[in-house]
Amino acid sequence: MKTLIRWGATLGLVASAILYSGFNQSRSAFALPQEEIFQMLRGLPVFMLANDKNVPLGGQVDEKTVFTNVFMSKQSAQEFLIQLGKEKPSIANQYKVKLISLGAIYEVAKKNSNESQRLALQYIPAKTEVEAAKTILSEDGKEYRGGVPLYILKGGPEQNYLTIKQDGQTIIPIFFEKKTIQQIINNLKEQESEETSNIKIEITLLGNLIGALEKEDNDFFRQIRLWPSQEMIKIIEESRKN
C-alpha cells in the first residue's frame, strides 16, 4: 500500500457535489450512464427481505411511490425481521433475509420506475458504522442525520483525496467500513512524511453519492471505487469459491 498511495490534486470542488446532492433531484443531460452506475454497484453484496417469489418487502410512500429497505449487513436485516415479527407476525412469516447485489436491486428499481410509479430504495446502515460516523462528524461540529455513511480519506498539505493504483488505473477508494480506512491511516502515519500529514476522514452518504452519479458525469466520479466492508469481502470470496 505504501508505494501506491497518492493524493489527488484537483478533486475538491467536484467532490463537494457528493456531499450536498440528494437522491430525489432531477437528472441532468450529462449524468453518468446508468449502465456504468450498475457496474459500479454490482459487485457489492447487500441484503433485503423478500418472499418465496423474490418479491421484496415494501412500504407505501405516496400514490406513486413504494420503497424497500436495502441492508448493508445481514445482522441489520435479521434484526429488522425479528422486530417486524413482534409487531406484525403474519407479514414477517412470509419473508426471509436474502442476499443480492446492490447493483442488481438498483437496476430493478430504475427499470421499474417511470412517470406513473417509482420504486425507491432505502439504504440501511450497520449500527457499528452509524456510531463511527457520529463520532467523526461530531469532531467537526456536525450531526449524523441518517443514511449509510461512506468514508473518504484526505491528507497532505492541500487536503486532497487519497488515490491508489489498481490494475494500472488511478482510483479514488470510498470505504463502507471505518475499520478498513483506519488501518490505512495507521499505515500512512508510520511513513511520517509531508504527504501523509493532516490525515482526515470525510464522510458522505451512499444515497447522496448515488444521487450525484445520477446527475454528473466527470472524471472524479469515473475514478471512484466503492471499497467493500469485511462482511462484503467475505461473501465475495465465498462466492468465488463456489
Identify whether 218 is part of a domain. yes
Percent of the chain with pLDDT over 70: 85
| 61-70 tens-digit pLDDT | 888 888 999 9
**Domain range holding 29?**
6-241
| 179-217 tens-digit pLDDT | 999 988 888 778 766 666 688 899 999 999 999 999 888
Identify whether 100 is part of a domain. yes
How many structural domains comprise the chain?
Answer: 1
Percent of the chain with pLDDT over 90: 48
How much is the pLDDT for 111?
A: 87
Identify whether 1 is part of a domain. no
- Here the CATH number for the domain that contains residue 163 is 3.40.1350.100
Please state the pTM of the whole predicted model: 0.83
161 phi/psi in degrees, rounded to 5: -85, 145
pLDDT(28) > 80: no
How much is the pLDDT for 191?
A: 73
140 phi/psi in degrees, rounded to 5: -100, 10
Spatial distance between the Cα atoms of 6 and 155, rounded to a whole number of angstroms: 10
Please count the CA atoms within 13 angstroms of the CA of 208 that sit on its side-chain side. 18
Identify whether 169 is part of a domain. yes
How much is the pLDDT for 192?
A: 65
Identify whether 229 is part of a domain. yes
Dihedral-angle region of residue 232 (phi above 0 means left; psi in -120 to 50 means alpha; beta otherwise): alpha
Q: Average pLDDT, whole number, for the chain?
A: 83
Identify whether 228 is part of a domain. yes
| 71-127 tens-digit pLDDT | 999 999 999 999 999 999 999 999 999 999 999 999 989 988 888 888 899 999 999
How much is the pLDDT for 29?
A: 46
C-alpha cell of 74?
A: 445481514
Decide the pairing of beta strands 58-60 and 65-71: antiparallel
How much is the pLDDT for 8?
A: 44
Identify whether 225 is part of a domain. yes
pLDDT(232) > 80: yes
| 153-162 tens-digit pLDDT | 988 777 788 8
